[in-house]
Every structure is written in structure tokens, then in C-alpha cells.
Amino acid sequence: MASILKSLRLAADPNRMRLLLLLEQEELSVAELQEILGKGQSQVSTSLALLKGAGLVDDRRTGKNAFYRLTAPPDLMGLLREAAREVPEAAQDRHALRLTIRKRQDRMRRYFDELAGKFGRQYVPGRSWKGIAEALLKLMPPMIIADLGAGEGTLSQLMAQRARKVIAIDNSEKMVEFGAELARKHKIANLEYRLGDLEEVPIRAGAVDLAFLSQALHHASHPDRAIGEAWRILKPGGRIAILDLNRHHFEEAREMYADLWLGFTELEIERYLKAADFKNVETAIVYREPDPPHLETLLATGEK
């Protein structure tokens, strides 16, 4: 049996307390614990070694990975759950854990990623991403859509094929003029361009069925306000869809693309959405570019 005094001394450290509380819910690898806690490999491994030495955790090997599990006594964990109220990060860890488990369990997405990497490498008559996109658009129910940060409106024009109406919002006068001219040229009557900002959208409250932000949020000065505006303009039961970059370190993007944010983590986007009162929030990394800097695309959805 582990020494009670030694166990209490070890568990009194907030980071080791967080480790034990996480392992109480799920077996986790060092890499997964690093991601959840935002700590380096050395710090996490050292803490796990101390906890294992005290008999509070154990590990098992699966291939090249070691998964840690809780062996601490229930009485000690009861005390830690009470003490966790004094550690703000503990509540955040629960949200991060859900994301980690979702990634681990999502075998289907990894399979699709492999297929996606092969798609287009070999010529197959009639098969293209545009064809697939057109087919999916035809299956989309007719809705009123707000394309927030639409740019020249390439996606707006695609969605207008099926939507009842698309309202394309951008803060660049030239983009709005160019997009509006394209819509007139192609006689897309249900597509309207409006000059406006993501954080002060020129659409009345409760007016749209879908708020769509494609690679726009990282240009917002206050992403939380932009998501709050999306919530405001949605009808009850309406949905938000965000495509943006996963957090990266390609600093050149600030100059090359005028990016204010170097992407967002899934946890950050989830927090923004839940803070704005969106329900049924889901996030996923849906694409990784094959060439450096290997930017990843993050998809997030939620319901009002």
C-alpha cells in the first residue's frame, strides 16, 4: 500500500493532481497528457514516474505506446476531487479530455484522411472534388445562409445554387464590389453582398438558418465577438459552421495573408462556441496539407 503521507505530498502539487484526476476518468498516453495539460514531455514523464513510484498510477505498453492508469485509493481521489475546486485548470482539463478521446476513437476519420490523400493522384474519368461538392450542395435543404468574411464570394456563389438566399458579408469594399458584379454577370438573383464587419454583422437578429465562416475567423480582432454575432443573427435551431486553421507556428502568415491569429486549437473554438451559448458543439481536424508548413484545417459546428 502506498504511504498516505507520501501520497498526499505528491498529490498536493496542482499538476500532479490534474494528472490523477484525468487518469481517474481514462487511461492516457504521455502524448495525450501533454496535449491536455499543455506541458512538455519531460515534465509530464517526471510527474508520472513519481506517481508510479508511490503506487498511485501504473502503466501498460501497447506497441510503442505506454498508457497510464490510476491505482490510487478511492479515499485519496475523493479528497482530490474536493480540492480540484481550487484549481481552475481542472475544469478545463475535462473539456480537453473529451476532445482527446474523440480523436482517439474516430477511426473512420483517419481512414478517410488516407483516402483523401490518394484522391486525385490517379485519373478516374468524371471524378473530381468539384463534382462531389456539387452533389452535396444539391442535397442541402434550401436555407438562408450568411457567408461571413466571404471575400469575393466563391463559396457564396456555390451555395446560392441551392439556398433560398445567401448574404455575403465582407469588410473590403473592393471584394464586395467584385463579388456583386460576378453575381450580376452570372444572374445569381438570390445572392446579396453587404459591406460589414464580422464583429458587427449588418443582418438583423434571428434572420438566417446557417452562419458560415470559412478561413475568416483568424482575421477577426475578437473571435469571441464574431461568434457571438453569428449566434445573434441565427434563427432558433440555426447552425454555425466554421472552417479555419488549426493552431500553427507559421509566423509569415501575418505578413503574407494579414492573419491576426495563427489559427485556433479545437479547445479554443469549443470554448468560444459554448460561451456564445451554442449547443451540440463538435470539432475535428479534417485536412492536413501535404507540403510544409503542413497547415491543418479545423471544422467546428454548433446549434443555437
CATH number of the domain to which 210 belongs: 3.40.50.150
Q: How far apart are CA 173 and CA 163, in angstroms?
A: 24
CATH number for the domain harbouring residue 38: 1.10.10.10
Does 270 map to a domain? yes
Does 115 map to a domain? no
Same domain, 197 and 294: yes
Boundary residue ending a domain (71, 105, 139): 105
pLDDT in tens, the chain (304 residues): 457 778 888 888 889 999 999 999 988 989 999 989 988 999 999 999 999 998 999 998 866 778 899 999 998 889 889 888 888 888 888 888 988 887 776 654 565 556 555 555 555 567 676 777 778 878 888 999 999 999 888 899 989 988 999 999 999 989 999 999 989 999 999 999 999 999 999 999 999 999 999 999 999 989 999 999 999 999 999 999 999 999 999 999 988 888 999 999 999 999 999 999 999 999 999 888 989 999 999 999 999 9
Does 111 map to a domain? no
Does 118 map to a domain? no
Does 112 map to a domain? no
Instruction: Tell me what pLDDT residue 58 has.
Output: 92
DSSP characters for the chain?
---HHHHHHHHTSHHHHHHHHHHHH--EEHHHHHHHHT--HHHHHHHHHHHHHTTSEEEEEETTEEEEEE---HHHHHHHHHHGGG-HHHHHHHHHHHHHHHHHH-HHHHHHHHHHHHTTTS--TT--HHHHHHHHHHHSPP-EEEEET-TT-HHHHHHTTTSSEEEEEES-HHHHHHHHHHHHHTT-TTEEEEE-BTTB-SS-TT-EEEEEEES-GGG-SSHHHHHHHHHHHEEEEEEEEEEEEBS---TTHHHHS--SS--B-HHHHHHHHHHTT-EEEEEEEEEE-SSTT--EEEEEEEE-
Q: How far apart are CA 289 and CA 302, in angstroms?
A: 25
Number of domains in the chain: 2
Same domain, 82 and 170: no
Instruction: Tell me what pLDDT residue 146 has.
Output: 98
Containing domain of residue 228, as a range?
Answer: 128-303
Instruction: Tell me what pLDDT residue 94 has.
Output: 86
Same domain, 40 and 141: no
Confirm if 30 and 59 have CB atoms less than 8 A apart: no
Same domain, 98 and 231: no
- CA nearest neighbour of 26 among 47, 4, 51, 57: 57
Does 177 map to a domain? yes
Same domain, 84 and 138: no
Same domain, 241 and 150: yes
Instruction: Tell me what pLDDT residue 218 has.
Output: 95
How do 165-170 and 234-245 pair as beta strands? unpaired
Instruction: Tell me what pLDDT residue 1 has.
Output: 44
Q: How many CB atoms lie within 10 A of CB 45?
A: 15
Same domain, 162 and 93: no
Confirm if 260 and 221 have CB atoms less than 8 A apart: yes
Confirm if 264 and 217 have CB atoms less than 8 A apart: yes
Confirm if 19 and 37 have CB atoms less than 8 A apart: yes
Same domain, 74 and 175: no
Residue carrying C-alpha cell 456564445: 276
